[in-house]
Structures are given as structure tokens and as C-alpha cells.
Structure 1
Amino acid sequence: MSEAGIYGVDMYRIVTFNANGIRSAADKGFFRWFAEQNADCLCVQELKAHEADIPAAIRELPGYYGYFHCAEKKGYSGCGLWTKEKPLAVRTGFGVEEFDREGRYVEADFGHLVVISCYFPSGSSSEERQAAKFRFLDVFLPHLEALRASGKEIVLCGDVNIAHKEIDLKNWKGNLKNSGFLPEERQWLTQLFEGDRWVDVFRRLDPRPERYTWWSQRGQARAKNVGWRIDYQIATPGLAARAKATDIYAAEKFSDHAPLTVDYDLGDSHHGA
């Protein structure tokens, strides 16, 4: 891609969203809302559909190229990535069969910029799934480091299923021994962010407490904002430095998660900053 490609735009908007079923989220108005966002890229997790089962109006979203990594198991997991600009290359899966079968990874390479839609396993349903989550973390870290070593600017978007710090969930004291806030999981993120190797873009821009992206469906968790921040845009430092604005849109309920938006200034005058 030429310099006039991705870096030719002044503002590049990425939305990431766990749909908890792409058809369900569409029925609840997500794509009506998305059409008003003028986003350059959309990363979605938990499609819960095979590609052929995604309605054509969504799969072939007007003005966007769509790419999907669906789970072999029906109605489970799955990631999608929609982009206005056609990538130079697209990769589905990251080369580990156990997790590639579950449809957890779509990567779009624009040359200067790599955008990833990724859905980390949840460990909350059983000890077996928690063990799988730890296996995922073990194999995914070296994959991320290899990507970073390419020298490209990268943003990993998705549901990481981990709240990093006490500020990132309402009831942190009651969740110290629960999946999503276990010391080993939190340390994995700490290790990722150490030495400014990767950056938690939302938290760099918005230091406020009680900013969450997921709420339990039980009780009045969402109404009372008893939530967790487990959806992220995690970027290489050069790209993170270009992030100018962020928002979590929770006014409408499209899913048990809320969309997370970040605007990056990729204007040519900032190239190489």
C-alpha cells in the first residue's frame, strides 16, 4: 500500500464489539447504529454463526469488505472484520489448531497497519475451559510478539475476557478468585503492557473509573453499572500515540457487551511519529 493509503486519512475510526450473536445484535439495532459511526473498520466477536448463516446484508455490508473466522461448532464463538479499505492480505486463525477450530482470529494487513479481531476464550463455565484459556494465553503471547517484531503498527481488538486492574470491574474484591480476574490472567496483561511494548489504548485516553464494556445478564447489573471492562484495543506504541478519542457506547443494548470506539490520527503529517 502506498503512503496515500491508510496513512492518507486524517482520522481512522475502529469499532470493536462482542455481539453475543451477530443476528441477535443486528435485530437489536447494532448495524443501524454502526451506519451512523462513519467507522473505517469494525471488529466483531462471538458471531455465533457460520458464514453462510450470516444474512447477506450484514456479510456484504455496503461500503465494506468483510472477512470471517467461524467456529466448526455451530452457534459458537466466531470473529468478523469489516473494513472500508481492502487489505493487502487477510489471515484467519493464528496457527494453533485447538483455537483455530473455535474461530477466534481475523487479521487484516494494510501494509503499514495490521488490524486484528480476536476473541479470547472464557474460563467461567468450567475448570476445563479455564485450562483452555490458560493454554490460549500461553500460545498467543509469542504470536503477538512475533507480530510486533515485524515492525508494523498493530492493533488487537476484541474481547480479552480479562479485567486488568481493580478499576476495571465494579466488584473486584468479590472476583479475586474468579475467571477473568485471576492473578495469572491479570499478570498476563501486565506482562503484555510492560516496557510499553503494547498499550491499552482506552485506558491511556480515559482514566476514569466505572467505565465498563460488559455486564452480567443477571439481576440489574447493567442498570446499576456493575460491570467489567474486558473489551480492548491493544496497540503498538507508535499507533497508540496516534489515538485521539475513545468511547464506550452503552446507551442502547445490542448485546451484553457495549461497542468500544477509538479514533486514530493517521494523517501523513504524523507519519513516523
Structure 2
Amino acid sequence: MTTSPFSISSVNVNGIRAAVKHRSKENLGMLPWLEQTAPDIVLMQEVRATDTLARKALQPALDAGWHLAHAESTVKGRAGVGILSRREPSAVRIGFGSDEFDDSGRYIEADFDVAGQTVTAASLYLPTGAALTENEKDVEKYHEKVRFLDAFRPYLDKLLAGDGQVVVAGDWNIARDERDIKNWKGNVKNAGFLPHEREWVAGLVEAGWVDIAREHHGDVAGPYAWWSWRGKAFDNDAGWRIDYHLATPALAQRVTKTWVDRADAYNLRWSDHAPVNAQFA
């Protein structure tokens, strides 16, 4: 089988217009990272912009030959996912067949021809959710996430059954287990680490999806890719591993390296998330 090396990065940009902004002489934003890291495919979440504004923000990259596929949310300033790629995708699909969520800017996938083989890369921004309290907004967010998980699982099962080379990466907003949160004991009742959420992700792995970073790094804490802007979370590496790649076995066996592009200092961050990268043979 002929293969060709390529890399896929995933990052919650926390607003594409803010991510590309030059904040100081030292912090030049997302675009220098894109040029220096040179991934083949970048899966973005929380673009939070119309297609016109997203393209304007990324114009230097588009002028340099990058291609953008974007699924904006019908709710202004919310969600939005996109795929930046060095080569033009052969097909792009938005959503996963859900009447409720396909227009919410939470899922987009694209097919790429890599050495004569089709590789499908998908960007996911799963709802944050909330712990179930007496607060009406918390109740709404809790049930929204539950509905998303229920609707999305059959689609993931279908992708897995197809035995293709597929990766679904992004901000899953769920940490799998204690290794994925620095302060897991203090978050057992918080969204992102609730029992039913962890069981849902565990079910995907049990079914055959491969958490490639966990497989690569082994039984270690992290590596984290999200830290709160508040306090000393970043400086103390008190983070969460909620950004990761799940790959089908056919693609996971080609992984040679995974790593997190953690900024060297707090003031050099261009998002509260760091890019998570995977290299494939």
C-alpha cells in the first residue's frame, strides 16, 4: 500500500478574528504558528464568524494557497467550525444528519486524496453542557449536550463501520478520565467530567475508535490543551485534555507522533486552547 506522510492539527481558536490579531511584538497571533508548524490540515473550532469575516481574517493564509471549508452557526457569534488545508478537499459535508444541530456550526468533514487514498478529516465542537442544577439555563445546556451525544453516536458508529481512514478531532468538551484533568477531584460534578459524558467517550473507544494521543503518550497526566484564562492555571499547567483526535483503526495505525503546541508563556497565547497535532506516515 502506497502512503504519504501528512499532519493534522486541531485547535479551538476561540474566535478566529481574535486568534489572528497581533497583540504585541511577541504575540503575533495564529498566522505565524500556521506558517511555522506547516500542518497539512487544520481543524478549527469556535470560529465565531460569518464565512465572509472568517475569510477576511484568514486572507493572508488563503493568499498563500490555503483552502478553507467553513460551517458557521445560525446563531451569531457562536460556535462555527472550519477546515484549513494545503490541498483542496475532494468533498465537504456539513453536519451529521441532525435537524437540530446541522446548522449550529458544530461539525464539518472533508475528504482528501492522499497518495491515491481517501482520508476523511472532521472538525467537531461538541456542546459545553452544564451540570444539572435548578438553574433553568443549566438545565437547558445539560439536555442540549445529552441530545447532541444521542444524535451523534449513530453517525460515529456508521463512520467506524465503514472501515475507512477517518479522524474526528476537535473540542470534545469531555475529559475521558482522571489523567485528563489536573484537578479531577474538584471537577467530578462539573460539565466535561460528568459520569454519563465519560461513559459516552469510553463507549466510542470500546467500539473501536482510537484516542491517538492517549495511545501515543501512554499512562501519563495530559498532555493538556486547554487552560482557563483565570488565575495561574496556565503557569501551573492546571489544564484539561478535552481536545483530541479519535481515529478509525485504519488511520490510527499510521500515527507516528502526536504533540501539543503549548505556548512558551501565558502572554504568548492566541487562544485559551493550544493546537493538538498528529503526524501520520
- TM-score, normalising length from structure 1? 0.90
Aligned partner of 1:256 in structure 2 is 272
What amino acid sits opposite 2:14 in the alignment? Answer: N
Report the 3-state secondary structure (helix = DSSP H, G, I; strand = E; otherwise coil) of the residue aligned with 1:99. coil
d(CA) in 2 for partners of 1:248, 1:256:
13
CA distance in 1, matches of 2:63, 2:189: 41
CA 210–116 in structure 1, closer or farther in 2 if over 3 Å, else same: closer
- What is the correspondence of 1:67-82 to structure 2 with a 5 Å cutoff? 67-82=69-84
Aligned to 2:127: 121
Counterpart contact for 1:22–1:54, Cα < 8 Å: yes
One-letter amino acid of the structure 1 residue matched with residue 274 of structure 2: A
Q: Aligned AA for 2:106?
A: R
**Aligned partners of 2:215 and 2:15: how far apart in 1?**
30
Change (3 A) 1:248 1:61: farther
Partner of 1:51: 51
Corresponding position of 1:93: 95
1:98-146 alpha-carbon deviations (Å, 9 max, x no partner)? 2122111111023521110110000137221121011101110100111
**Correspondent of 2:17 among 16, 20, 23:** 23
Shift of 1:38: 2.0
Cα distance in 2 for partners of 1:112, 1:101 equals 26
Residue 189 of structure 2 is aligned to residue 177 of structure 1: yes
Aligned residue type for 2:47: L
C-alpha contact (below 8 Å) 1:70/1:79 kept by paired residues: yes
Take 1:8 and 1:182, find their aligned partners in 2: how far apart are those partners?
40
Give the alignment of 1:154-233 within 5 angstroms. 154-195=166-207, 197-207=208-218, 208-233=220-245
Letter of the structure 1 residue corresponding to residue 250 of structure 2 = G
Unmatched runs of 5 consecutive residues or more in structure 2: 22-27, 131-136
Matched letter for residue 35 of structure 1: E
The more displaced of 13-22 and 120-129 is 120-129
Question: Could you tell me how far apart the structure 2 residues matched to 1:68 and 1:81 are?
Answer: 6
Deviation at 1:54, TM superposition (A): 1.6
1:12 maps to which of 3, 6, 9: 6
**Alignment check: 8 A CA contact 2:16 2:57 kept:** no
Structure 2 CA distance, aligned partners of 1:256 and 1:100? 26
Quote the sequence identity (%): 41
Shift of 1:228: 0.4
Q: CA deviation at 1:95?
A: 1.6
Find runs of 4+ consecutive structure 1 residues off by over 4 angstroms: none
Letter in 1 for 2:125: Y
Local SS of the residue matching 2:123: strand
TM-superposed CA distance for 1:31, in Å, is 1.4
How far is 1:61 from its partner? 5.4
Instruction: Measure, in 2, the Cα distance between the counterparts of 1:65 and 1:43.
Output: 12
The whole-number CA distance in structure 2 between the counterparts of 1:176 and 1:184 is 11
Equivalent-residue separation in structure 1 for 2:184 and 2:160 (angstroms): 31
2:250 & 2:163 partners in 1: Cα distance? 10
Asked whether the equivalents of residues 261 and 275 of structure 2 are also in contact (C-alpha less than 8 Å), the reply is: yes
Specify the code of the residue in structure 2 equivalent to 1:138: D
Partner of 1:247: 259
Aligned partners of 1:115 and 1:154 also within 8 Å: yes
Tell me what 1:65 maps to: 67
Distance 1:75 1:153 in 2: 33
Give 1:150 deviation, angstroms: 2.2
8 Å contact kept, 2:17–2:57: no
